[in-house]
Amino acid sequence: MKKIVIVSSFLTFGLSGSSQAQFTQLDLFSGIDKTNFSIYSSYAIHESKTFSIGSLAFFQKFHGSNNNNLDELGVQPTLFWDLHENISFGPSIYYNSNAGYSNRLSAKFTIKRSQLIIVFAPTLGLSSNTHNIYAEAFTQFQLNKPINGKISIWFNGQFLTVWDMFTIHTRSFQQVRLGISLFGHQFGLGLDLDQYGPHPLQKISIGLYYRKTI
């Protein structure tokens, strides 16, 4: 069973909501059914900012002994070539504690407005364990509504589907966050829906989240 390739809210590409060329984002989600912690960083490696590196690490723990096979740890560094302000692509190596290593090639398309960011990222991957090619479709959005200079309301979502050999569903999730940002600290309510396997086994998790961009 192929495991999660991105995590919590950003995660794969990290919507910081910031114009910073370099940033690190910490994200914690915890509820009765699972806890997820992730860290994502992005920084330019060339003065022209044509190339950048995005690095993701996460740990997901489902509560209860019956769900131990769903626990996972992942690490993924990605080299992006920014063809345009809103178009990037690049290779990555992804390691998952359950699924092993994968070589990947992703494109990233970004729409930015004053209070809205939308990211769509299709990916092709090759699993080192099964030697199968798999395809991903990832979408992410972030909407914020400032109340004043220090407080704003945030609505975030990210959605992933993975198909082994382009036809067999192996993994998908839908993650939604609604909260408030207070003096740079974002927190609120979260809902995670996780599906596994060709005949999807679904897990539902409701909890609280905290996010900090530095």
- Structural domains of the chain, ranges and CATH numbers in brackets: 8-213 (2.40.160.40)
Bridge partner residues of 39 (DSSP):
26, 57
Tens-digit pLDDT profile for the chain (214 aa)? 444 343 333 344 555 444 455 889 999 999 989 999 999 998 888 777 789 998 999 999 999 878 888 898 999 999 999 998 899 999 999 998 988 999 999 999 999 999 999 999 999 999 999 999 999 999 999 999 999 989 999 999 999 999 999 999 999 999 999 999 999 899 999 999 999 999 999 999 999 999 998 8
* pTM score, whole prediction: 0.85
Residue 18 backbone zone (phi > 0: left; psi -120 to 50: alpha; other: beta): beta
DSSP 18: S
